[in-house]
Amino acid sequence: MRSLRHVLSVAAAAAVAVAGSLVVADQASAAAGCRVDYAVTNQWQSGFGADIRVTNLGDPVSSWDVRFSFGAGQTVAQLWNGSVTQSGAAVSVRNAAWNGSIGTGGTASFGFNGTWSGSNPAPTAFTLNGVACTGSPVTPTSTPTTSPTPTPTSTQTPRPTPTPTTTTGPVGGTAAQLVTAMGKGWNLGNQLEANINGVPSETAWGNPVITGALLDRVKAAGFSTVRIPVSYLAKIGPAPSYTVDAAWLDRIQQVVDLAYDRGLYVVINMHGDGYKSVSGSWLICDAASQTAIKEKYQKVWQQVASEFTTYGGRLILESMNENFDGQYGNPTQPCYSNINAYNQIFVDTVRKTGGNNASRWLLVPGWNTNIDYTTGGYGFVIPTDQYRSSAIPSTEKRLMISVHYYDPWDFTGAENGTYTQWGPNATDPSKKTSWGQQDFMDAQLKKTYDAFTSKGYPVFVGEYGSIDKTAFDAANNRYRADYARALVATAAKYGAATAYWDNGHNGQYGFALFDRASATVTQQGIIDAIMGR
């Protein structure tokens, strides 16, 4: 479904009559007024995302209550940066603990994911604690009848990036709803998993420091999910506590917040710790010291998961990345058994940290995230989920299966100019592989549906994409776009969400869709293909 963005600016001169208000705390006669900007940021078959921005045009306020009504039966499914109640069409949103104060000329923003059917018009009436929002200051003649609810108390110290609103109940939503909401995703690759000699650093591989401007651009492009690969490596202390460096955990949380606070789904993935080619890697499935490895793995995930117990359902934790013994033949034992054991330790550990971790979706891979070796009876075992919240309906799952797709590698990843074209639009048969075309892609993703989706376990194609070979074929980007369009559409056909692999590198052999330094788009054609445009 083509991503839509509708923006409604509420002001005195607007053609649509919109009302709103801001109450000035303890001053019934103080100047008040506001402007409201409502934007649908993303829309799909049965759902949408929206942002609301309130600008205070009057005296400072200490708390706010935004009210509006939907005109076509829409509902708010999940909201951030505030708390929401809905009765029929009427919606009320109150400030979070950290964003109640708005100075003169200041703004407050919140966002939500919602559902719609038939049509999705913007609300045509807003209130903000009872004073009309005309786009210019007004002076109330009496105290408004609706008083704001006192700002909720919080024991959490505010960070520079606002703390996400917590969810007190279990994470909700069915597998199908999750996949729909996650939609089209994007990888923040070669950043928090980057390292020099086993010491993680987000700039180690040439990418700049991650910024909110970049995540704004990613969201504006139409992506709904950001996958954040993370390596720990030398940031892990010695046994028996295996303490993760506090500053590194803080930075991980800050980057998560940059995406989460923008209303995006976020997947945190343990990445390079299981690569034999990475200095300091330790999550090695065929190493001799499995007892120590499993103890270390449990301790690290216990610390990481504990950082995110209050985050809502838009946060997903992923156990590991492309773990295998380094050879590309059939899976071996006991290596596969150890991968299954890691997944089970991950699920048990995260669940036991409590809070929303007891009910959030958890993502687990099979051997090297390979579709054949995960679906084809080679030894993959879905973890048991015995410690999950008792509030989750017994008929629902909370485990998701991770796979990656880079077939045919000769086109997607081989750093040469031999194969630069893919799909039915290819014009030169000599530049197109004899296998790995659309029929193969369809058959592979159908395997994931048959093995998992049809049984209630959603599938996430957590990486896919193809490198830039325009140095060898000026038309290469056209085929890269065709490949991305086909993969996303085929995944959707079989009920799977997706995330494009972006390593931040533009130019020859790069995967990048954006320039991270300037937060600009570099491959609009591929993005349009992903979005189905």
Q: Tell me, what's the pLDDT at 42?
A: 67
pLDDT at 137: 55
Give tens-digit pLDDT for 39-63: 887 676 677 778 788 888 888 888 8
Which pLDDT does position 311 carry in this prediction? 96
pLDDT of residue 79: 77
Q: Is 463 an active-site residue?
A: yes
**Which token pair is 150?**
């006192």
Lowest-confidence region among 137-146, 314-323, 447-456, 503-512: 137-146
pLDDT tens for each residue of 293-326: 999 999 999 999 999 999 999 999 999 999 999 9
pLDDT in the model for residue 23: 34
Question: Minimal CA–CA distance to 133: which of 24, 233, 232, 11?
Answer: 11
pLDDT digits (tens, 9 = 90+) for 502-529: 999 999 999 999 999 999 999 999 999 9
What does the pLDDT read at residue 10?
36
For the chain, give me the number of helices (H) and strands (E)? 10, 21
Tokens 């809905």 locate to 86
Which of 193, 202, 322, 415 is an active site residue?
Answer: 322
- Least confident piece of the model among 84-93, 254-263, 434-443: 84-93
pLDDT of residue 59: 84
CA distance 91 to 20: 13
Measured between alpha carbons, how far is 370 from 322 in angstroms, rounded to an integer?
A: 8
Average pLDDT, the chain: 86
Query: Kindly report the CA angle at 530 between 529 and 531, in degrees rounded to 5?
Result: 90
Q: Which of 48, 128, 57 is nearest to 91 (CA)?
A: 128
Query: Which of 88, 81, 48 has the alpha carbon at shortest distance from 66?
Result: 81
Q: What angle, rounded to 10 degrees, do the helices at 290-306 and 335-352 form?
A: 30
For the chain, what percent of residues have pLDDT higher than 70?
86
Q: So what's the pLDDT on residue 136?
A: 61
HSE, side-chain direction, 13 A CA sphere, residue 350: 31
pLDDT at 121 over 60: yes
Q: Which of 193, 202, 318, 463 is catalytic?
A: 463
DSSP letter for 382, please.
P
Average pLDDT over residues 462-467: 98
Looking at residue 502, what is its pLDDT? Answer: 98
pLDDT of residue 81: 73
> Other C-beta atoms within 10 Å of 124: how many?
17
Identity (one letter) of the amino acid at 186?
Answer: W
Which residue matches tokens 């076509």?
Answer: 72
pLDDT of res. 83: 83
Residues 150 and 63: beta-carbon distance below 8 Å:
yes
Identify the pLDDT of residue 39.
Answer: 83
The single residue listed with the structure tokens 């991305």 is 484
What is the average pLDDT across 76-83?
79
Is 8 strand, coil or helix? Answer: strand
User: Residue 43 half-sphere exposure, CB side, CA atoms within 13 Å?
Assistant: 15
- Please spell the DSSP secondary structure of 144-163, one letter per residue: -SSPPPPPPP--SPPPSSPP
* CB-based contacts of 247-252 (< 8 A; 24+ apart in sequence): 248/200, 249/303, 249/304, 249/307, 251/192, 251/202, 252/192, 252/228, 252/304, 252/307
Q: In the chain, what are the domains?
A: 34-133 (2.60.40.290), 175-531 (3.20.20.80)
Where does the pLDDT of residue 3 fall: very low under 50, low under 70, confident under 90, or very high at 90 and above? Answer: very low
pLDDT digits (tens, 9 = 90+) for 220-232: 999 999 999 999 9
Distance (Å, whole) CA 467 – CA 415: 8
Instruction: Output the pLDDT for position 286.
Output: 96
Nearest to 459 by CA among 495, 490, 405: 495
Quick one: which H or E segment has residue 218? Answer: helix 212-220
Half-sphere exposure of residue 362, counting CA atoms within 13 Å on the CB side?
A: 30
Q: Return the exposure string of 412-421: e unless at least 16 CB atoms fall within 10 Å of the residue's CB, then b.
A: beeeeeebbb
What band does 98 get if pLDDT is binned at 50, 70 and 90? low
Q: Is residue 271 pLDDT above 70, yes or no?
A: yes
Least confident interval from 118-132, 194-208, 391-405: 118-132
Other beta carbons less than 10 A from residue 473's beta carbon: 17
Sheet containing strand 126-128, edge to edge, reads 82-87, 90-95, 65-69, 126-128
Q: Is the pLDDT of residue 149 over 60?
A: no
3 state DSSP class of 60: coil
Residue 129 has pLDDT above 50, yes or no: yes
Q: What is the pLDDT of residue 31?
A: 63
Residue 455: C-alpha distances to residues 373, 382, 400, 493 (Å) = 18, 12, 11, 16
**Does 307 qualify as catalytic in the annotation?**
no
pLDDT at 236 over 90: yes
Helix (H, G, I), strand (E, B) or coil at 238: coil
Residue 417 has pLDDT above 70, yes or no: yes
pLDDT digits 0-9 by tens, 156-188: 333 333 344 434 355 778 999 999 999 999 999
DSSP 8-state secondary structure symbol assigned to residue 81: S
What is the SS3 assignment for 250? helix
**Between β-strands 82-87 and 90-95, what pairing exists: parallel, antiparallel or unpaired?**
antiparallel
